[in-house]
Every structure is written in C-alpha cells, then in structure tokens.
Amino acid sequence: MDSEQVRAHWRNWASKFGTALGATTRTETAKTLEIDALARRMCMIGLGDMPAHVLEVGCGNGLNCFGLAAQFPRMQFHGIDYTAEMIDAAREAATANGFRDRSSFRIGNALELSKTPGLLAQYDVVFTDRCLINIAPVDLQMRAITGLAAKVRKGGHLIMIENSMATYDRQNHCRALLDLPARTPAAFNLFFDETRILPHLETLGLEVEIEDFISLHDLMLYVLAPAINGGTVDYDHPLVHAATRLNIAVSAETSSAFGAFGQGRMFVCRKP
Ligand SMILES: C[S@@+](CC[C@H](N)C(=O)[O-])C[C@H]1O[C@@H](n2cnc3c(N)ncnc32)[C@H](O)[C@@H]1O
C-alpha cells in the first residue's frame, strides 16, 4: 500500500467504528495490555502522582489517553492523529467520558509535528502505540522518531509501543515448531527493523530499554490456541483472556518475564 492507501484505510475504520475499539484494533485483550504497560511505566518513571503533560502521536479515537487519564487524575493529555475522523471520535469520546478538561485532540502528522498548532514546546512523555508502523520506508520512520524526540523535555521519555520484525519472526518460529504456517503483517504496516531503529535512537542520545509486555498473550493468541483449534486465531478464546490476566499480574512483579515473542514491544527512551 502507498501512503494514501494507508490513510484511506484509517479513514474507513474510523468512519465505520467511530468511538469503538474496532477503529484501531481487533484485539481487546491487546489493548488492555497496552494501557497496562503504559500505566505501569508512568509509575516506574515517577509520574504516577505528578501533573505531567503527555502527548500521544497517532492517538486514533483516544482510548489510550482515556485509559491513562482514568488512572492518573493529575495528568494532562494531548493527542494528535492525521485522520480527521479519528480526531472527531476522540473529541466525542472525551465529552462522553468526562475527560474534556484534561484532554485535547488535534489533527496532526507524526512527520510534521512542528506544523501542528496548539502543541506544547515539550512534554514529560511523548508516546506512540502502533502509529509509526504505518509509515514507510524505515528512513521516514526514523525521521518521525527524530521529531518525536525533539518534543520530549530533558529527563523526559519517548515511549513507543510498536510492532517489531525481530519478535514477530520469533513468534512465527514458534508457529513453525507446532506445524502452523507463518503469519504476515498487514499490507499497511512496516514493522520496526531494529537493526536500523535502535542505532538511530542511539544517535539521538536516548537511553533505551525494551519491555516485552505482551509475549504470553501473543503466544496464546497466535500460537497455542491456533495449534489446538485448526489454526484459527480466536480473539475471545478463554485461554487468551486467562493469559492476559496472568501477563498483567506477572508484569507487575517481573518485567519481560515471558521472553520476546509478542508482535509489539515497548521501546522506553529516556532523554538524558
Ligand atoms: C493502529 S491505530 C492506533 C491508534 C492508537 N494509538 C491506539 O493504540 O488506540 C494507528 C493510528 O495511527 C494513525 N496514524 C498513522 N500514521 C500517522 C501519521 N503519520 N501521523 C499521525 N497519525 C498517524 C492512524 O490514523 C491511526 O489512528
């Protein structure tokens, strides 16, 4: 898909699903794990009780911002997305959820942050969640990351939950071990090539830690449950729900406890 087709895809999903989860993912359990990982990290970096300013780039219909706003009453959220229909849905949901005073949503492109009016010069946290994988080629992903990092204050964090080819390949290896065919990324996605992205983060002077927050869930959803039900990915399988609960409970005690097998990883980058 070229970049216009990718945009059209998100316009379609936003128009079809509006404020519902389906606008941005098929997997409710993965969304639960993403918000849990972000919230846990906010506490780990000392912002749990702080009046912090947080920017989500590629915010979709705002579910991450609302999930975090509910847990961190002193935080202020800005969300931008290049899909106008997503921003309309986020604004509608902000009103419906009672978060209008602590969240605001604007149309903006991850590749042109400086052209988005109304943003702060810098934030305590800038984060993405499956946004940058919609940008291709990898040089443009890196350009976007440079722009995101510039919006982070010294001592602040850029947090990216993005899909990685490295862990996706490991997950596919597990499928092969159980005689399942490899899955392929959606046509509108370019998963992170860590051999390019990680050195780029280093050139930006960022201190990087990677958390694998979703491995148990993804192994259950994409490998183990399909292995016993004819290859079907069943988003509502009871074991996927149980794996989600266990993944969250263990993550609270031990980071990345289940290895690096999720298609998403959390890249936590501190600006020294
Ligand atoms: C998979 S959805 C994720 C939405 C949200 N981050 C979440 O986790 O619920 C990807 C979002 O990124 C947005 N997006 C993709 N490329 C973008 C870009 N260059 N600038 C801003 N938004 C972008 C899409 O419009 C879509 O809303």
Query: Which residue ranges make up each domain of the chain?
Result: 3-162+187-213+260-270
| Amino acid (one-letter) located at 158 | L
Dihedral of CA atoms 174, 175, 177, 179 in degrees, nearest 10, equals: 180
Locate 69 and state its tokens. Answer: 């706003």
Distance CA(29)–CA(32), nearest Å, equals 5
CA of 128 from ligand 1 middle (Å) equals 8
pLDDT in tens, 68-121: 999 999 999 999 999 999 999 999 999 999 999 999 999 999 999 999 999 999
Of the CATH numbers 1.10.10.10, 3.40.50.150, 2.60.120.10, 3.30.420.60, which one belongs to the domain with range 3-162+187-213+260-270? 3.40.50.150
- Residue 1 has a pLDDT of 83
d(CA 52, CA 44): 14
Mean pLDDT confidence for 139-161: 98
CA 45 to centroid of ligand 1, rounded, Å: 25
| Atom 8, ligand 1: residue with shortest CA distance | 129
Single-letter amino acid code for the residue at 25: T
